[in-house]
Structure 1
């Protein structure tokens, strides 16, 4: 039997960072993603976000990849939002995402960070948060 525990902090944004997710839609979206993850055997430890993005803390299984999990969560949730007709326009996610590994010793800290998104974004925009992630993790953004 294989034992795997690889924590990943995943962050993805709405298309063009549109602030489509009001509090009611955010709650419904999170509940739907939680249920979808259970069905797809994706271990989702924490989820939250703000009007234009979502944070997830996921533990990868032995046969799972980050790209496949992202595809399953983003693709299915955008399909669901559009099917439910929650918005007058077509909902979609940005193609890109952030994904970073999380040490076991930092899991509780990351869960706290994810749970406090509304308070966090009262002081800082998602654009500022994304710039911080880019700097902290040393990612280079290539502009086309």
Structure 2
């Protein structure tokens, strides 16, 4: 698109199905790199991908020609396919349906990058559910608690 200029950044968050804590340290860094590369393959620019055993945060730049849903669909489906084709897990891996997406300005990138980088430390003090609800509230996103990421019952 000639003469189209943008500065669009978002943090996407998605969870393992039923929030199972199955992203092990033994393959976590490789999985996060795969997700970052998959986001880049869509034509977006990955800034950081990090997470803990049950969910992932991705900060990336996107452009008006992209749909966030299409970027996340690609990253989630292809990364789960990649993980299922490895021998890292003995059972089928799936991401939970849906994701959270939060927009940021250029001036907020260093703060959000630090936040994502420090996920392990952050989650020693705060649950994923609490973190996610706080992000929804901070971004004035209405939600119904019954439609948040499911926990294993």
**TM-score, reference length from structure 2:** 0.86
Structure 2 counterpart SS, 1:57:
strand
Q: Aligned partners of 1:101 and 1:15: how far apart in 2?
A: 24
Q: Which residue of 1 aligns with 2:143?
A: 140
Choose the corresponding residue for 1:68, options 67, 70, 77: 70
Structure 2 counterpart SS, 1:143:
helix
Unaligned runs of 5+ in 1: none
Residue pairs, 1:49-64, within 5 angstroms: 49-64=51-66
Q: Aligned partners of 1:116 and 1:142: how far apart in 2?
A: 26
CA shift, 1:122, in A, is: 1.4
Distance 1:143 1:38, change over 3 A: closer
Q: Aligned partners of 1:26 and 1:8: how far apart in 2?
A: 22
Structure 1 counterpart SS, 2:111:
helix
Unaligned runs of 5+ in 2: 148-153
Q: Aligned partners of 1:40 and 1:125: how far apart in 2?
A: 31
**TM-score, reference length from structure 1:** 0.91
Choose the corresponding residue for 2:49, options 39, 43, 47: 47
CA shift, 1:142, in A, is: 5.6
Q: Aligned partners of 2:136 and 2:65: how far apart in 1?
A: 28
Q: Aligned partners of 2:136 and 2:43: how far apart in 1?
A: 30
CA shift, 1:11, in A, is: 0.5
Residue pairs, 1:1-144, within 5 angstroms: 1=2, 2-138=4-140, 139-141=142-144, 143=146
CA shift, 1:132, in A, is: 1.6
Contact persistence 2:33–2:49 (CA under 8 A): no
Q: Aligned partners of 1:39 and 1:6: how far apart in 2?
A: 17
Contact persistence 2:12–2:58 (CA under 8 A): yes
CA RMSD of aligned residues (A): 1.6
1:51-84 deviation per Cα after TM superposition (whole angstroms, max 9, x unaligned): 0000011111231011000001001000100011
